[in-house]
Amino acid sequence: MKVKIGDIAPDFKLLNQNGEYVNLYDFIGEKIVVLFFYPKDNTPGCQKQACAFRDSYDIFKEQGAEVIGISSGTQTSHAAFASNNNLPFVLLSDLENGVRRMYGVTKTLAILPGRVTYIINTHGEVIDVFESQMKFSSHVSNALEVIKSNNSIRSK
């Protein structure tokens, strides 16, 4: 089943790059969540995407959002990836791809793990889904646009 706009985001509990467990629902009610699935640590496309999120991280925080990345990499791989690229946000290890399957993130060309970004509002509802294997920085610009638009609607 593919998670789509209007769905309540499924909760999960995964290990982060610091060896701590993180639940999605720990953020619900307090922050908008930018949940991005990416194929693999330390690959050129994933590095571009992660660094684009890093470079806009302060804007996300100002907008009341938290950024969370998920791939099947290990906690050790995520720790190195975060350290090497000065990533200030959470990276979660979905070793068995269970959360990827739960969200319905499919492979591209039947070989590459999908690259999909979900925007989840403070009520836990998915308000946007952006999927593109090659438009790395578009995941960031789209997320910022959706969040700013959502925040302006809420403030009216």
Over residues 65-91, the mean pLDDT reads 96
Task: For residue range 101-140, list pLDDT tens digits in order.
Answer: 999 998 777 677 888 999 999 999 999 999 876 777 778 8
Task: For residue range 20-63, list pLDDT tens digits in order.
Answer: 999 999 999 999 999 999 999 989 989 999 999 999 999 999 99
**Is 46 part of the annotated catalytic residue set?**
yes
Strands 90-93 and 13-16: antiparallel
In the chain, the amino acid numbered 84 is N
Single out the residue of 111, 93, 85 nearest to residue 37, CA to CA.
93
| Annotated catalytic residue, options 3, 9, 46, 70 | 46
Rounded CA-CA distance 41/5 in Å is: 27
Name the one residue in this structure whose structure tokens are 């009216």: 156
pTM for the model stands at 0.93
Strands 13-16 and 21-23: antiparallel
Which two tokens mark 113?
Answer: 């793990």
List domains and CATH numbers for the chain.
13-154 (3.40.30.10)
- Look at 49-63, 64-78, 88-102, 132-146 and tell me which has the smallest mean pLDDT: 132-146
